[in-house]
């Protein structure tokens, strides 16, 4: 090889590794394609064999036991071969590598090695999926796309809300027609109320009744009073509202039965009752009791009513969005049963592993670990489940208090009247006088 060619080759390599690395750290997308990607791709290709060996991804073609005379000898055979990989393919946020599994390997081995890959490739995260039997797809993201998420867009649809951006750069959408009930958890200041505010501002312009249950004295959901069809600010009011909703649910059932349909969506437009979304901020307030008989009875009533709504409400246009700092079976016997009915899950930063496990553990174990790694500075970042059963990191769009109040005022006239709920709240006032 001529010295000029060699010098040119070395210069290109140096540019890719040094400049590329700098740009990768502070990149907009074009920098990533231009420089960050070549540097990371080189790192993937050149480190693959070593990383595979150190993380037990490489397998020797020789058997781990052999005959020495009449003696069977066991041990690690020499020269393990790293699995074959495709050339790293650039994506907007990072790169992907397809790995062909050795016979006998499963994606679980690669899941365990994901952390090692993050360090070896110097990227923000590596996700492991298996798009096809025998193949594993390693998706590396160069830097955290949720640090400054772009404004994602999504088509508008009834009962569908654009919440924010997914780690993949796509839109984070909560579609209540697809997933009727949701559980949202997160420690204090993790972004739950902001997410609820975003949900309400998205649903506010739609022909949907919004009912708030905020037993923290209505401090969070009180901002939306104008657009809410009813608001409960203490557990007594919550019981009244939930009881009225259960009666309304029975009326809806009767309407479906007499029309010979199985859900309100099959009813003709004129007969279809308005969909209702019940938003609960701080579920613990509904379940905790101070030990008195009255308080215990109230908590049990709440638990039963919520469970009934969750079990039967989906087809009848009654949806639950339940948020809480901590969700565990210690809150009450009904909590685990309710959780099973809340198919959509969103887990912000949590203080105890139990809450992350309770929110995501029954759906996906890897998601629990990722939720636990969310830091206090990542407000609004959460792990959310998708309609396909998968999960993703995501960040809600920041909805300011002013924005929330303005939207609620603007669409106040759209709030459908729910006379049964008004009557139930008025009866309570009458009783207390």
Q: Does 324 help bind ligand ATP (rule: CB under 6 A)?
A: no
Which residues are bridge partners to 9 per DSSP?
Answer: none
Q: Considering the rule CB under 6 A, would residue 349 count as an interface residue with ligand ATP?
A: no
Look up residue 350 and give its DSSP letter.
-
Q: Which residue is nearest to ligand ATP (CB)?
A: 380
Nearer to ligand ATP, 40 or 201 (CB): 201
Per-residue tokens: 237: 């009011």
Using CB under 6 A as the binding rule, whether residue 303 contacts ligand ATP is answered as no
Q: Which span sits near ligand ATP by CB under 6 A: 40-48, 99-107, 186-194, 250-258?
A: 186-194
Rounded (10°) angle between helices 37-54 and 107-121: 130
Query: What is the CA angle 183-328-160, rounded to 5?
Result: 0
| d(C-alpha 40, C-alpha 256), whole Å | 58
The one among 190, 341, 359, 385 contacting ligand ATP by CB under 6 A: 190
193 is in an annotated binding site: yes
Q: Does 233 bind ligand ATP (CB under 6 A)?
A: no
Q: Is 260 annotated as a binding residue?
A: no
Which residues are CB-contacts of 271 (< 8 A; sequence separation ≥ 6)?
Answer: 255, 259
Closest distance to ligand ATP from the beta carbon of 193 (Å): 3
Closest distance to ligand ATP from the beta carbon of 226 (Å):
20
Q: Is residue 185 at the binding interface for ligand ATP, with CB under 6 A as the rule?
A: no
- Which residue in the set 91, 194, 303, 359 belongs to the binding site for ligand ATP (CB under 6 A)? 194
Total of residues contacting ligand ATP (CB under 6 A): 14
Q: Which stretch binds ligand ATP (CB under 6 A): 99-107, 252-260, 392-400, 408-416?
A: 392-400
Residue 380 binding ligand ATP, by CB under 6 A: yes
Shortest Å distance, C-beta 407 to ligand ATP: 16
Which residue, 56, 30, 32, is CA-closest to 123? 32
Range in contact with ligand ATP (rule: CB under 6 A) among 45-53, 100-108, 227-235, 393-401: 393-401
Residue 106 or 400 having the CB closest to ligand ATP: 400
Confirm or reject binding of residue 355 to ligand ATP (CB under 6 A).
no
Look-up of token digits 């495709």: 86
Rounded distance, CA 252 to CA 244, Å? Answer: 12
Q: Which is nearer to ligand ATP, 225 or 379 (CB)?
A: 379
CA 95 to each of CA 89, 104, 144, 264, 283: distance values in angstroms, whole numbers, following the listed order: 5, 26, 13, 45, 41
170 annotated ligand binder: no
Query: In angstroms, what CA-CA distances link 59 with 83, 129, 132, 137, 334?
Result: 8, 20, 21, 19, 49
Q: Is 189 annotated as a binding residue?
A: yes
Residue from 139, 303, 341, 396 touching ligand ATP (CB under 6 A): that is 396
Annotated binding residue 187: yes
Tell me the window of 14-22, 96-104, 165-173, 394-402 that interacts with ligand ATP (CB under 6 A). 394-402
- Looking at residue 133, what DSSP letter applies? T
Q: Confirm or deny that 191 is annotated as ligand binding.
A: yes
CA distances from residue 279 to 2, 132, 231, 245, 366 in whole angstroms, order as listed: 72, 39, 9, 13, 28
Q: Does 246 bind ligand ATP (CB under 6 A)?
A: no
Smallest gap from residue 194 Cβ to ligand ATP (A): 3
Going residue by residue from 127 to 166, which x/- string records binding to ligand ATP, judged by CB under 6 A? Answer: ----------------------------------------
Name the residue nearer to ligand ATP (CB basis): 35 or 335: 335
Q: Looking at 186, 212, 273, 332, which residue binds ligand ATP (CB under 6 A)?
A: 186
**Helix (H, G, I), strand (E, B), or coil: what is residue 176?**
coil
Q: 294-298 — which CB contacts under 8 Å span 24+ positions?
A: 298/235, 298/236, 298/239
CB of 153 to ligand ATP, least distance (A): 17
CA 148 to chain centre: 18
Nearest-10 crossing angle of helices 334-341, 293-312: 20
User: Which DSSP symbol is given to 207?
Assistant: S
Say if CB 169 and CB 205 are below 8 A apart.
no
How far apart are alpha carbons 385 and 397 in whole angstroms?
17
Residue 258: exposure state from Cβ atoms within 10 A (0-12, 13-18, ≥19): exposed
The three-class DSSP label of residue 78 is: coil
Per rule CB under 6 A, is residue 325 in the interface with ligand ATP? yes
Instruction: Give the separation between CA 248 and CA 242, rounded to whole angstroms.
Output: 10
43 binds ligand ATP (CB under 6 A): no
Question: Smallest distance, Å, CB 107 to ligand ATP?
Answer: 32
Residue 190 among known ligand-binding residues: yes
188 is an annotated ligand-binding site residue: yes
Interaction site with ligand ATP (CB under 6 A) = 186, 188-194, 325, 379-380, 395-396, 398
Indicate the annotated binding residues.
186-193
Query: Known binding site for ATP: residues?
Result: 186-193
């Amino acid at each position: 090889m001529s010295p000029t060619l060699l010098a040119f080759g070395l210069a290109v390599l140096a540019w890719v590794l040094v400049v590329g690395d700098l740009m990768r750290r502070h990149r907009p997308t074009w920098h990533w394609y231009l420089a960050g990607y070549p540097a990371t791709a080189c790192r993937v290709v050149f480190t693959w064999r070593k990383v595979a060996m150190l993380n037990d991804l490489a397998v020797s073609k020789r058997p781990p036991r052999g005959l020495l005379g009449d003696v069977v000898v066991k041990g690690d055979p020499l020269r393990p071969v790293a699995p074959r990989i495709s050339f790293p393919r650039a994506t907007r946020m990072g790169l992907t590598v397809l790995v062909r599994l050795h016979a006998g390997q499963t994606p679980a081995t690669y899941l365990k090695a994901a952390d090692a890959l993050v360090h070896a490739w110097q990227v923000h995260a590596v996700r492991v999926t298996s798009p096809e039997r025998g193949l594993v797809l390693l998706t590396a993201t160069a830097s955290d796309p949720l640090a400054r998420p772009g404004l994602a867009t999504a088509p508008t649809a009834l009962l569908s809300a654009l919440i924010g951006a997914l780690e993949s750069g796509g839109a984070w959408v909560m579609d209540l027609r697809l997933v009727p009930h949701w559980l949202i958890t997160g420690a204090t200041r993790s972004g739950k109320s902001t997410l609820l505010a975003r949900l309400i501002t998205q649903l506010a312009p739609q022909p949907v009744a919004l009912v708030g249950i905020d037993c923290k004295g209505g401090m969070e959901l009180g901002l939306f009073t104008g657009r809410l069809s009813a608001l409960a600010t203490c557990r007594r009011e919550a019981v009244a509202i939930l009881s009225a909703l259960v009666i309304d649910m029975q009326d809806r059932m009767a309407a479906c039965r007499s029309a010979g349909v199985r859900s309100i969506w099959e009813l003709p437009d004129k007969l279809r009752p308005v969909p209702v979304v019940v938003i609960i901020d701080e579920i613990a307030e509904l379940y905790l009791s101070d030990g008195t008989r009255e308080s215990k009875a109230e908590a049990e009533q709440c638990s039963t009513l919520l469970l009934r709504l969750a079990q039967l409400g989906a087809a009848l246009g009654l949806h639950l969005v339940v948020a809480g700092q901590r969700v565990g079976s210690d809150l009450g016997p009904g909590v685990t049963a309710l959780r099973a009915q809340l198919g959509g899950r969103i887990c912000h930063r949590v203080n105890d592993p139990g809450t992350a496990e309770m929110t995501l553990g029954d759906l996906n174990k890897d998601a629990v670990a990722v939720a636990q790694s969310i830091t206090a500075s990542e407000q609004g970042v959460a792990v959310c489940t998708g309609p396909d059963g998968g999960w993703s990191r995501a960040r809600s769009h920041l909805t300011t208090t002013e924005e929330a109040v303005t939207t609620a005022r603007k669409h106040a006239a759209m709030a459908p009247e729910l006379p049964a709920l008004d009557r139930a709240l008025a009866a309570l006032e009458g009783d207390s006088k």
